[in-house]
Amino acid sequence: MTYDLWADAERAIATGDGGRARYQRLASFIHEAVRSGLLRPGDQLPTVRELASRLGVSVTTVVSAYSALREDGAVQGEVGRGTFVRGTEPAQRPDVPVSLAAPGAPATWRRRALANTEHRLTRAHPDAVDLMRGSSNSEYLPLPVLKRAWTSVVRSLTVDDIQYPVSTDPEPELVAQLLALFEKDGIPVDESDLMVGSSTIQFLSLVTELLRRDRPGDWPLTVAVEEPGYQAAMDVLERFGCGLVGMATDEHGVLPRHLRAALEGGAALVVLTPRASNPAGTTWSAERLRELADVVASHPDVLVLEDDYFADGSTSRPGSLLADQRVAHRIVHVRSFAKVIAPDLRIAAAVVRSTLHSSLAQVKYLTEGWTSRTTQRVLARVLAADETAELLGRARAAFAERRSAAEELLAEGLQEAGGSVQHAHDGLYTWIRLPPGSDASMVAEHVARGGFLVAPGEPFFIRPGAGRFLRLNSGSATADEIAAASKAIVLAATGADARTGSRLTP
């Protein structure tokens, strides 16, 4: 398993917390792990001595924590067997991957799992090339254009520009650029449909907050997500207390029958990625878009958030459910610019129709206020620059070339052993299914020793336990790095050490 729960526990008890004793911080951490589903009924906790050694604390600290948990009814001790999370039976994994987090539970294990793994491997292999993170290739971020845009905007600022705004509508200069981009992608948009925020995650949070306010009878909300899918969105939704239903994908996106099953099972919100999905690179075909629209149309109370996070780095134009009048009024289409312009700009644009637009704008105003007008103008001028268009054209070609090279090398090297590579139509990532019996954590360890950091795939699923997948950020690599990293992955995945053994890096 990639996610190391006890590594998080070690950090939690090492951090001061209002003067509470270490055993209290440990007991609180285990409580939260139980509430969020990371520890489930029937799970056995480490022995007192094992956990004391793992965390670098005294045996007395662990004994006191376990005692406090027993008094609270969170765990039970069984003579001769150990300490177990309380429950009528051991945790079971249902056929349909559903995770129901307790309201407010800090179920953010996925991002922490990736961060912990990266920290550990980077510390042990400081010279390794990082192809693990979701970042775009810095070579294709328009820094010179961005600097000129900032200078131009700042020079033209007036005192009114830095005051509280009279209106929270998007800046006209940015609106003009957005309308042109959406038109180019064949997505029908009117100026009155536009909203501006900081990110897809912000809009997802706003939609969830809106549903919690307007549909209290549906709470806790069930949300259908792609699986594998965007780990940060899963963390945020579970943080709200939502339950997650996974929908399987192929190279053309979510399978319609899985979407139908999720909606028939009670999902009130669906999160879909039209193109370049993270981590698998799936992209809708025209036929798949029609099929998904038919399913959504048959469930008139469901909202859909489209996460078009890679739009301006993409070579494909799959369209949007906004084009189908049966469902357009229930779609929140989000186009963000972090991957291809600059993550630190914190700008995303949403297309939302009619009543839903008014309701969402109200929630945003009450919770977030407005999005910086200065930053909106900067983005507008970056998008308007010919140099940006030229740079993005080169980036698209490079990403496609590197994805193709990685897919070919990895498929050839893994096929005989039973591994495979998901064909990605677009985006930065290469999604790898390792040969049977492989442990992605062990493979990542060996690949790091070979000079490259890659992401174990477990955090891209609803539940921990998916141990046969890796994500490679092929878009952030050079051609030579793709070749070397692919070779390292194949060697690590087809060797005996990929299947057995303990973690190499402390």
| Cα–Cα distance for residue pair 364/16, rounded to 1 Å | 34
pLDDT value, residue 59: 80
* Judgement on whether residues 341 and 488 belong to the same structural domain of the protein: no
Q: What pairing do the DSSP bridges indicate for beta strands 469-473 and 455-456?
A: antiparallel
Domain total of the chain: 3
Residue 157 lies in a domain: no
3-state secondary structure of 73: coil
- pTM tops 0.85, yes or no: no
CA-based nearest residue to 447, from 381, 505, 395: 505
* Judgement on whether residues 345 and 230 belong to the same structural domain of the protein: yes
Which helix (H) or strand (E) segment is 419 a member of? none
* Judgement on whether residues 402 and 346 belong to the same structural domain of the protein: no
CB distance 167 to 192 below 8 Å: no
Residue 367 lies in a domain: yes
DSSP category for residue 44 = B
* Judgement on whether residues 84 and 121 belong to the same structural domain of the protein: no
* Judgement on whether residues 339 and 425 belong to the same structural domain of the protein: no
* Judgement on whether residues 312 and 400 belong to the same structural domain of the protein: no
Residue 334 lies in a domain: yes
Q: Which domain holds residue 360?
A: 186-371
| Cα–Cα distance for residue pair 99/229, rounded to 1 Å | 14
In the listed set 308, 341, 371, which residue is the last one of a domain according to the structure?
371
* Judgement on whether residues 349 and 396 belong to the same structural domain of the protein: no
Cα within 13 Å of Cα(331), Cβ side: 29
Residue 174 lies in a domain: no
Could you give the C-alpha distances from 194 to 170, 272, 338, in angstroms and in order? 7, 19, 18
* Judgement on whether residues 132 and 196 belong to the same structural domain of the protein: no
CB distance 279 to 228 below 8 Å: yes
* Judgement on whether residues 415 and 469 belong to the same structural domain of the protein: yes
In the listed set 337, 371, 405, which residue is the last one of a domain according to the structure?
371
* Judgement on whether residues 222 and 322 belong to the same structural domain of the protein: yes
| Cα–Cα distance for residue pair 40/102, rounded to 1 Å | 12
pLDDT tens by residue, the chain, 506 residues: 445 778 878 877 876 555 677 888 888 888 878 876 778 888 889 988 889 888 888 888 888 888 888 877 788 877 667 888 886 333 333 334 444 443 333 457 898 889 989 999 999 999 999 999 998 889 999 999 999 999 999 999 999 999 999 999 999 999 999 999 999 999 999 999 999 999 999 999 999 999 999 999 888 999 999 999 999 999 999 999 999 999 999 999 999 999 999 999 999 999 999 999 999 999 999 999 999 999 999 999 999 999 999 999 999 999 999 999 999 999 999 999 999 999 999 999 999 998 999 999 999 999 889 999 999 999 999 999 999 999 999 999 999 999 999 999 999 999 999 999 999 999 999 999 999 989 999 999 999 999 999 999 999 999 888 889 999 999 999 999 999 999 999 999 998 555 544 444 54
Residue type, 222: T
Could you give the C-alpha distances from 230 to 226, 273, 308, 309, 413, in angstroms and in order? 8, 9, 12, 11, 27
Residue 378 lies in a domain: no
Tokens in use for 94? Answer: 């249902």
| Cα–Cα distance for residue pair 378/145, rounded to 1 Å | 10
CATH code at position 447:
3.90.1150.10
Residue 469 lies in a domain: yes
Q: Bridge partners of 170?
A: none
CATH code at position 344:
3.40.640.10
Q: How far is the first Cα of the chain from the last one, in angstroms, to the nearest whole number? A: 15
* Judgement on whether residues 313 and 457 belong to the same structural domain of the protein: no
Q: What pairing do the DSSP bridges indicate for beta strands 303-308 and 269-272?
A: parallel
Tokens in use for 115? Answer: 């961060």
CATH code at position 46:
1.10.10.10
pLDDT value, residue 500: 47
Residue 356 lies in a domain: yes
| Cα–Cα distance for residue pair 18/99, rounded to 1 Å | 32
| Cα–Cα distance for residue pair 402/420, rounded to 1 Å | 17
Find how far residue 361's CA is from the centre of its chain.
24
* Judgement on whether residues 238 and 306 belong to the same structural domain of the protein: yes
Residue 103 lies in a domain: no
